Amino acid sequence: MNITEFLLILVITLAAELTDKSMVAAVLLSRRNGATKTISAAVSAVGLEAFIVAFIANSIRLILKGSIIHLVTGIVLTGIGGLLLWKALRGEEEESEEDQRSSSWLKIFVIFFLAELGDVTQATTAGFSLATGAPIWVGLAATLGMGISLTTAVALTRFTQHLSQRLLYTLAGLIILVLAGLSFAGIGV
């Protein structure tokens, strides 16, 4: 994996994560539990999940033939891009998390781990791992992208509340669909 692929995964993960329910949870939980505890628990949870997903996808990659990998990656990314555009067209807003009193680090970790199960970001991480065959680098890039987005959400709470959810879904969806098209054409992500 080269630095361009690494940065691309980081930026795509960051863009996808900015539209995610985790941002709402990060803002709300940080108000009650402090930024440091919230960010450390959240990044630990999403990072662990990113590495698990990247290694599972890489295992699948080893079983599949090279030509099928581009097809599978393209299908996964098309689904994700389509889902994001569908959310944008529906004008879907994220639901706020329950009012939480001060929570333990482990409780915050579990909240984020469960919130990210089956999430678009994890599916994207799997797609990148399938395409590159570099699960450690994919996991690291995805963790950094999610960590930056979570930290940004906590640090810039007011700014993130004013961003249009529809705009973010549309941009993330279009970028991922372009990547899907490249994958279908046999061009690595």
pLDDT per position as a tens digit, 7-51: 888 888 887 776 666 776 787 778 778 889 989 999 999 999 999
Contact 142, 128 (CB under 8 A): yes
Choose among 144, 113, 140, 103: nearest CA to 46: 113
- Domain total of the chain: 1
| 7 lies in some domain | no
**Residue 55 binned pLDDT confidence (cut-offs 50, 70, 90):** very high
Sequence-distant (≥ 6) Cβ neighbours of residue 177 within 8 angstroms: 77, 78, 81, 82, 85
pLDDT of 49 reads 93
pLDDT of 46 reads 92
pLDDT of 111 reads 82
| 146 lies in some domain | yes
Contact 174, 72 (CB under 8 A): no
* Residue type present at position 52: I
Sequence-distant (≥ 6) Cβ neighbours of residue 107 within 8 angstroms: none
Specify the pTM: 0.66
Q: What does the alpha-carbon distance between residue 179 and residue 104 come to, in Å, rounded to a whole number?
A: 39
Average pLDDT over residues 154-162: 66
Query: Chain-wide mean pLDDT for the chain?
Result: 78
| 18 lies in some domain | no
**Residue 181 binned pLDDT confidence (cut-offs 50, 70, 90):** confident
- Joined together, the tokens standing for residue 91 give 């004008």
- Joined together, the tokens standing for residue 183 give 């994958």
Q: What does the alpha-carbon distance between residue 86 and residue 185 come to, in Å, rounded to a whole number?
A: 24
pLDDT of 95 reads 42
Contact 177, 71 (CB under 8 A): no
pLDDT of 21 reads 67
Domain that holds residue 27: 23-92+103-184
| 2 lies in some domain | no
Residue where the block lists tokens 């555009």: 85
| 3 lies in some domain | no
| 11 lies in some domain | no
pLDDT in tens, 81-120: 787 788 788 875 544 444 445 578 998 898 888 877 767 7
| 16 lies in some domain | no
| 109 lies in some domain | yes
